[in-house]
Amino acid sequence: MALFKKHKTEPVPPEDTGAHDTSVGTAADVEAVMKKYDRESNTRVWEGLPKLVIRWLMVAFSAYCIIDTVFLSTRQEVRLPMFVGLILLFGFLTFPAKKGDERVNHMPWYDIVLLIAGPGAYFFYAVNAQNVVQMSARVMQNDLYMIIGLIGILALVELCRRCVGLPILCVAGVLLVYTFFNLGGSADFKMTLYQVIRTMFYTFNGIFGGPISVCAKFIVVFIIFGAFLERTGIAQFFINLANAVAGAAPGGPAKVAVISSALCGMVSGSSVGNTVTTGSVTIPMMKKTGYKPEFAGAVEAAASTGGQIMPPIMGAAAFLMAEFTGEPYGTIAMRAILPAVLYFTGIYIAVHLEAKKLGLKGIPREQLPRVRQLLPKIYLLAPLVLLVVMVSTNMYTMAFSAAIAIVAAVAVGLVNNVVEIASKSSNREDFLTFGKIIDALEGGAKGSITVAVACGVAGIISGCITVTGLASKLLSTIVSLSGGHMIIALALTMLCCIVLGMGVPTTANYCIMAATCAPILMDPSIGVTKMAAHFFVFYFGIVADITPPVALAAYAGSAIAKADPMKTGFNATKLAIAAFIVPYIFAFSPQMLFVDVTGAFQVVQICISALLGIFGVAAALNGFLYRPIPALLRVAMAVGGLGMMIPGTATDIVGFVLVVGIVLYQRFSARRAAMV
């Protein structure tokens, strides 16, 4: 679930957007797309008293998470099982066994059994935590404890199937089978099974490992913060700002999509959710302007996915990366700047060149908001700025900083109420009311379910790899297959990340990558630096959402645009080419992450050359500058662009000559053709 996911988007008037063509234009259409491509949107329908009771239970859960994270120091053996048990309780109350089950106040008998048995297993562990610790390995001699552990594992797996999907379960299932046979297999079936159950349920090498610990400690509070931030109207502010800045430019709606999705996605944890909610406004506008449907859907999907790598928030992954790497948060955010700028610069250049090629216009300025009209609402950014400042200066812990930011979001919402009243605005939708505060707490609890479940299964994956020594075997296999060549090792790791990242929320995605793939790259035999390894696996875990054949964000964008899903996926991959190139560059040359730079001049050189390089690559892929680019020159321009993106004076000079030379030749050719 998103840190900041489902901001409200008004149904787009047909006369303004062209939604009457074939695009999604109503709230019902948007919801239908969400239900098809986003498992978190397939929820039970509760009404009346059951809805009220569940709502207030979720509010209490959010309050408990904030208080426990910030103020209490509960023993981990009690705290984590209680947390996961409550997650399962709300998970089975929220997600039905099958997609599309919309019966009101209906819960079949088997779900009631799961609702009692699943959370009950974790509550049993929390209550008997002292006994579990004292028994240690002797817990395997107690059949009751083993049966309860098995129930807990199976309940988590079933909830994961409902709200996250099968890809991550396939990986976990294969690893569990491997672990079973590695520990003894059928030679002593019962004892081997009990050993697996104990490891996965009663130790910190399984479900209660690093990912779920980080989730309970940090992620939940950030998700609740995002839910509060949503209620302040910041999403609409971002969209209006993007319109004011780029709406009137050639192909303006596509540029608005790039900017607004980068800003909204920055504080988001869901590529699919951001694609659908922002795309319901931007994609119809792009189509009306003249972009092809598959291109319009791809722009939104690529930009929304890229929002997850946009500092300073990075879908909350920046805070987690600081925890996993031991680096200060400010350092993480600073190192993420240039790769993110390259990513969005590449998309922006691509949509600009496409607009030029098609001769597209922008939105008339009289239909757009003015920057000066938006500046008085700059205070909406205060909670975000406050959070970043507190964390980057180590003023408080990350969890405590997020709690303060929640209070700041409420304060900003109340200030916004006063401003709206003073301006005699008739739009009261962005008013922060007591009901919206309760909605935010409820939304935070709902948003925690999918992420926590994915983190729990990530713990199983990590535990299997640790217990069996599979990490060293994977490492030796990758080193053997690569023949000592880093590029092959990186390519194999990239494939692993894309597979493991399919359909997994951003924060859980990074937890999985940090636990499984990053250590492989950091091994001395491969030689990738710690920061480069973590950024590498994070990037390729994220781009799984736009990489065919499982490209959920691209498919969601295609559904809104009424375009071919596979064409949209390939277009999104082409637009996001920087995300596939840049990680390789900083793996070989960490200077792109501002690691081991010698001074300010080298930083400036890296930034300028990389930006010119991404221009060359984007133009080569688009095939148009001042006029269509011949195939041979496209190849030369791509080579020149890659050369400039690789840090180093020699490669910069060669790349500069190629890119600038082709640009000048294209300009001269276009002028000569125009004169004729």
Of the segments 1-15, 25-39, 200-214, which one has the largest average pLDDT value? 200-214
Going 523 to 524 to 526 to 527, the CA torsion angle's sign is positive
Spell 491-516 as b/e; 16+ CB within 10 A means b.
ebbbebbbbbbbbbbbbbbbbbbbbb
Q: What is the pLDDT of residue 398?
A: 80
pLDDT level of residue 34 (50, 70, 90 thresholds): low
CB-count exposure of residue 564 (10 Å: 0-12, 13-18, 19+): middle
Residue-wise pLDDT for 295-309, tens only, equals: 999 999 999 888 888
C-alpha to C-alpha distance for 225 and 276, rounded to whole angstroms = 21
Q: What is the pLDDT of residue 15?
A: 38
Residue 23 pLDDT > 50:
no
Q: What is the pLDDT of residue 323?
A: 78
Q: Among all chains, which residue has been given the structure tokens 């409200």? A: 8
Is the Cβ–Cβ distance between 451 and 223 less than 8 Å?
A: yes
**Contacts of the segment 418-427: beta carbons below 8 A, 24+ positions apart:** 419/376, 419/377
E strand spans, 266-388:
none
Residue 259 pLDDT > 60:
yes
Single out the residue of 43, 93, 86, 96 nearest to residue 62, CA to CA: 86
Residue-wise pLDDT for 520-532, tens only, equals: 888 888 888 999 9
Of the segments 224-233, 269-278, 431-440, 506-515, which one has the largest average pLDDT value? 431-440
pLDDT level of residue 14 (50, 70, 90 thresholds): very low
First to last CA, the chain: 58
216 DSSP 8-state letter: I
Q: What is the pLDDT of residue 7?
A: 42
Segment 351-368 shows an average pLDDT of 86
Least confident of 238-242, 325-329, 336-340, 505-509: 505-509
104 DSSP 8-state letter: B
**Contacts of the segment 73-81: beta carbons below 8 A, 24+ positions apart:** 75/129, 76/204, 76/208, 76/213, 77/125, 77/126, 77/129, 77/130, 77/132, 77/133, 78/126, 78/129, 79/126, 79/216, 80/208, 80/212, 80/213, 80/216, 81/122, 81/123, 81/125, 81/126, 81/129, 81/208
**β-strand partners of 628:** 624
543 DSSP 8-state letter: G
Give the pair of three-digit tokens for residue 112: 């009631």
pLDDT level of residue 13 (50, 70, 90 thresholds): very low
Is the Cβ–Cβ distance between 220 and 448 less than 8 Å?
A: yes
Going 65 to 37 to 555 to 27, the CA torsion angle's sign is negative
**How many distinct helices (H) and strands (E) make up the chain?**
33, 0
C-alpha to C-alpha distance for 95 and 449, rounded to whole angstroms = 10
DSSP secondary structure letters along 444-485? HHHHHHHHHHHHHHHHHHHHHHHHHTHHHHHHHHHHHHHTT-
163 phi-psi bin (left φ>0, alpha ψ -120 to 50, beta other): alpha
Residue 438 pLDDT > 90:
yes
Least confident of 169-183, 229-243, 556-570, 649-663: 229-243
Is the Cβ–Cβ distance between 302 and 576 less than 8 Å?
A: yes
Residue 257 pLDDT > 50:
yes
Segment 610-639 shows an average pLDDT of 91
Single out the residue of 474, 464, 478, 544 nearest to residue 509, CA to CA: 544
What type of residue is 61?
F
Single out the residue of 235, 212, 180 nearest to residue 81, CA to CA: 212
224 DSSP 8-state letter: H
**470-482 vs 434-468: helix crossing angle, rounded to 10:** 80
Q: What is the pLDDT of residue 527?
A: 85
Distance, CA of 26 to chain centre = 26
pLDDT level of residue 268 (50, 70, 90 thresholds): low
Residue 269 pLDDT > 90:
no
pLDDT level of residue 21 (50, 70, 90 thresholds): very low
C-alpha to C-alpha distance for 209 and 311, rounded to whole angstroms = 27
pLDDT level of residue 267 (50, 70, 90 thresholds): low
| Contacts with 607 (C-beta within 8 Å, 6 or more apart), sequence order | 338
Residue-wise pLDDT for 542-552, tens only, equals: 888 888 877 88
Alpha-carbon Rg for the chain in angstroms = 25
Give the pair of three-digit tokens for residue 456: 């729990």
DSSP secondary structure letters along 615-640? HHHHHHHHTBSSSBPPHHHHHHHHHH
Is the Cβ–Cβ distance between 319 and 336 less than 8 Å?
A: no
Segment 150-171 shows an average pLDDT of 91
How far is CA 171 from each of CA 159, 179, 315, 429, 474, rounded to the nearest angstrom? 16, 12, 24, 44, 14
Q: What is the pLDDT of residue 4?
A: 46
Of the segments 117-131, 408-422, 453-467, which one has the largest average pLDDT value? 117-131
Segment 211-230 shows an average pLDDT of 86
Residue 233 pLDDT > 90:
no
136 DSSP 8-state letter: G
Residue 12 pLDDT > 70:
no
Q: What is the pLDDT of residue 426?
A: 57
How far is CA 361 from each of CA 204, 262, 290, 618, rounded to the nearest angstrom? 58, 22, 9, 21
Q: What is the pLDDT of residue 452?
A: 92
Q: What is the pLDDT of residue 30?
A: 67
> Is 355 strand, coil or helix?
helix
Q: Among all chains, which residue has been given the structure tokens 């030689």? A: 527
Segment 528-543 shows an average pLDDT of 91
> Is 45 strand, coil or helix?
strand
The mean pLDDT of the chain is: 85
Q: What is the pLDDT of residue 37?
A: 65
Of the segments 101-105, 272-276, 322-326, 659-663, which one has the largest average pLDDT value? 659-663
C-alpha to C-alpha distance for 500 and 174, rounded to whole angstroms = 13
Going 215 to 220 to 225 to 226, the CA torsion angle's sign is positive
Segment 91-98 shows an average pLDDT of 93
Is the Cβ–Cβ distance between 95 and 159 less than 8 Å?
A: yes
HSE toward the beta carbon, residue 533, CA cutoff 13 A: 21
Distance, CA of 589 to chain centre = 25
